[in-house]
Chain A
Amino acid sequence: MMVKARSVLLAAAALLAGIGGAEAQQKIVLQSWGGTWGDAMKEAWFEPFEKETGIQVELRPQGSMMDALAKLVAQKDRMDVDLWITGMTPTALADEAGILETIPRGKLTNAEHLPDALIGDKYVGVWNTIYGVAYNKETVPFPITKWSDLLDERLAGQVGIPHATGYGGKFILLLGWLGGGDVDNIDPAFEVAAQLKPNIGIISKSDPEAIKFLTSGEVDVAAMMPPGNFVQIREAGPQFEFVAPEPFVPANFNNFALLKGPNTEAAVKFIDFAISKQAQEELARRVLVIPANTQAAIPEELAPFAPPPERLRYPDEVAITKVLPDWAERWDRVIQGR
């Protein structure tokens, strides 16, 4: 009996020692996209960062940014995520919900290489992305060169678009721009949407869905597609083409947001690492994004798709946040109108 009790105690001690050993290595939890993006981050960021600092990075995959926001707010009082890659709209909402820490700019040695617009108290830009059109050139009867081509009657039922709140409502804004409107005057967006409606074959709720619908032949055109997704699409065959249509290309940046998690100090170190020139270039060439760090080179592969800067249009995402519920309701009325 005595021997048995001693064995149990020894086993418990060994277990505790094991747990203690595991805790010795610092770890941060980063919430971001998985799949192609997650793989790229692992190779370009997590592994070299761990080698350099000894800090492990665990990826907590997310679906949509708003879905991630809802989950983070729900776990506000027991936050186990340190860092979040998201957009400006969810960042603003997360800040209102009180789950963000202020990012200590003084501790970011690479911050000086970011444009002023890409850094603030609660966000640090991580990459810029553009949105274009991916299509099947074997089934689409003409080369798509401009956004208005999506209204061509030959594309009836062939166009896939994001849902109303997808990409923070940027597709609605794009249609507004095409109709001569803007955030403050969004009526033209719904007029263009009504024209586009006969051509809409499907409305995707997420990036993987949009990729699947195009590559499975459910639709022949996917509007509002970041080149990063095209990396995956082109693996399905050479028939797929990406174009950044005329006259302008919606663009935005994704950003780090520092959460009130358990390892904020290590998380800040990671932000600094991820915005360094080399880390930015390594990631950019894997997922075809424009680095946020101005010293980092734009990936060669992106060059054919990347429009000149004067064609890029950045929406005011924080302004959209306030009007998006109304936009979404109007959008549903036009698109789902029964």
Chain B
Amino acid sequence: MTLDQALPGPAGDTVRRRPGRRPNPVPYLLVLPALLLVAGLVGALLVLSLRSLEGAQGQVPSLAQYARIATSPHYLDHFTHSAWLAGAATLAAAVLGYPVAYYMERVGRPMRRAIMAFLAVVFFSDYVLRMFGLILVLGKTGIVNRLLVWSGAVDRPLSLMYNDFGVFVGLVSASLPFMILAINGVLARLDPRLPEAAALLGASPPRVFWHVTLPLSVPGIVSGGIIVFLLSLNSFVTPALLGGGFVEMVATFIYEQAINLFNLPLGAAAAMILFFVSMVLLVGVNGLFDRMGRRFGVREEGR
């Protein structure tokens, strides 16, 4: 069946092509740029996977690069440290983001719109500039340190930047809007009669939140969590700008190998591992999400 044959009619029925009529090329032409883009991306990934199969002397196929990473505690440390930082950033984003998402559902429309507008501004502002903004706030000569020294709270500026803490703050600040929007999306769809029913049955507000609202918003936390975790795990700009050279994450390791050391096969192998881990995580959490969806009644609604 061709594309124009499959186009739905006004009533949602499939339009059958009349015999002898020439197929309409427009839908094909419209889809072509997107297909080319996807083909380009998949092609790049294929090239990368092929380069990762080069041995130390260029022999192919070889799993030498993967073996090198798997057997080097130093290389593996980049993965575990990245996962640790991404996990911590995800947890912090959930803890900080949930109250905001919840608050957005409790306030009037003007305030909700104001928060949404603020999130949109953060969303569309330049990522690098946001990171530089953090340097201006948390750097040794930044506002926070100036205030601390000026108030006499500390003798010398604290190291708030160019270490794990600086990268952690950067990851959280970069990904917080994703978490807020994901949780808010679920909270906004909650049936308001459920917490009302719990309250009518005598549950206190904290109990309603703990036993009704929070469990029902878990899908939002999970989907926000997976977005934040993967964004943080794959982050390059944040550790590059805020790590001060002391904090290497997988993406900066890949850059170091592929660009600075001109060792594309090792960088490609690390990139493929990162890709594979991300995919497994995504598929695994999707499965979990489906099970949770069944439990919380989301699945039927979504299908």
Contacts and interface: CB of A to CB of B under 8 A. Distances in A.
Bound pair (A, B): yes
Interface of A: 64, 66-67, 69-70, 93, 157, 163-165, 201-205, 216-218, 324-325, 328-329, 332-333, 335-336, 338
Contacts of B77: 338
A44 B57 CA distance: 44
A218 B141 contact: yes
Contacts of A324: 261
A70 B77 CA distance: 26
Given A204-B245, A335-B246, A165 B258 contact: no
B188 to A, nearest CB: 42
25 contacts: A64-B259, A66-B259, A66-B261, A66-B262, A67-B259, A163-B245, A164-B256, A165-B256, A201-B162, A201-B244, A202-B162, A202-B245, A203-B244, A203-B246, A205-B240, A205-B245, A217-B140, A217-B141, A218-B162, A324-B261, A325-B263, A332-B74, A335-B246, A336-B247, A338-B81
Contacts of A217: 140-141
A332 B261 contact: no
A335 B243 CA distance: 13
Contacts of B246: 203, 335-336
Given A66-B262, A335-B246, 15 more contacts: A66-B261, A67-B260, A93-B262, A203-B246, A205-B240, A218-B139, A218-B141, A218-B162, A328-B256, A328-B260, A332-B74, A332-B248, A336-B246, A336-B248, A338-B81
B28 to A, nearest CB: 28
B296 to A, nearest CB: 40
A218 B262 contact: no
Nearest to A66: B260
Closest 8 pairs between A and B when the two form their complex, measured CB to CB = A203-B245, A165-B260, A217-B141, A202-B244, A66-B260, A70-B259, A325-B261, A218-B140
Contacts of B240: 205
Contacts of B140: 217-218
Given A157-B159, A335-B246, A216 B261 contact: no
A282 to B, nearest CB: 32
A328 B263 CA distance: 12
A257 to B, nearest CB: 15
B132 to A, nearest CB: 10
A165 B256 CA distance: 9
A129 to B, nearest CB: 20
A69 B261 contact: no
Contacts of B256: 164-165, 328
B260 to A, nearest CB: 4
B157 to A, nearest CB: 9
Contacts of A203: 244-246
A67 B257 CA distance: 11
B289 to A, nearest CB: 33
Nearest to A93: B262
Contacts of A332: 74, 248
Nearest to A204: B245
A32 to B, nearest CB: 18
Interface-central residue, B77, B139, B240, B259, by most chain A CB under 10 Å:
B259
Contact of B261 (A157, A165, A218): A165
Contacts of B141: 216-218
A336 B159 CA distance: 16
Contacts of A325: 261, 263
